Structure 1
Amino acid sequence: MNIKSVMKQFIEDESGLTAVEYAIAGGLVVGGMIAAFSELGDNATSRIECLASAVNGDSTNC
């Protein structure tokens, strides 16, 4: 094999690109999950505080 054919084979090889694409997609999914759980946590906390104030007789915070 000469250098030209080795370089051509290297340029045309896309197997490593697939792994990078999966890593990027996985990172985006994890980032989305973190954002969703963070927002869900904030909403859940406010609802629990609302319920706690209602139990104490103060329902103006809801």
Structure 2
Amino acid sequence: MNIKQIFADFIEDESGLTAVEYAIAGGLVVGGMIAAFNTLGENATLKISCLASAVNGNSADCS
């Protein structure tokens, strides 16, 4: 085999491509989960604070 053929075989080899695709997809899923949990956490904190103020006798609109 000459260098040109070895280089051409290297370019056409896609065996590692699937692992890279899974890594990118996994990163996107984790990023989405982090964003969702941050939003959920903020909303839960607001509701808990509202309920705590209601328990203390403060009239708060918890809608």
Give the TM-score of the pair, scaled to structure 2.
Answer: 0.85
Q: Point out the more displaced range, 27-36 or 14-23.
A: 14-23
Bigger helix share: 1
Q: In the alignment, what sits opposite 1:30?
A: 30
Cα deviation, residue 39, structure 1:
0.5
Give the TM-score of the pair, scaled to structure 1.
Answer: 0.86
User: Identity across aligned pairs (percent)?
Assistant: 77
Unaligned regions of 5+ residues in structure 1, if any? none
How many pairs does the alignment contain? 62
Unaligned regions of 5+ residues in structure 2, if any? none
C-alpha RMSD of matched pairs (Å): 1.2
Q: Separation in 2 of the partners of 1:4 and 1:36?
A: 50
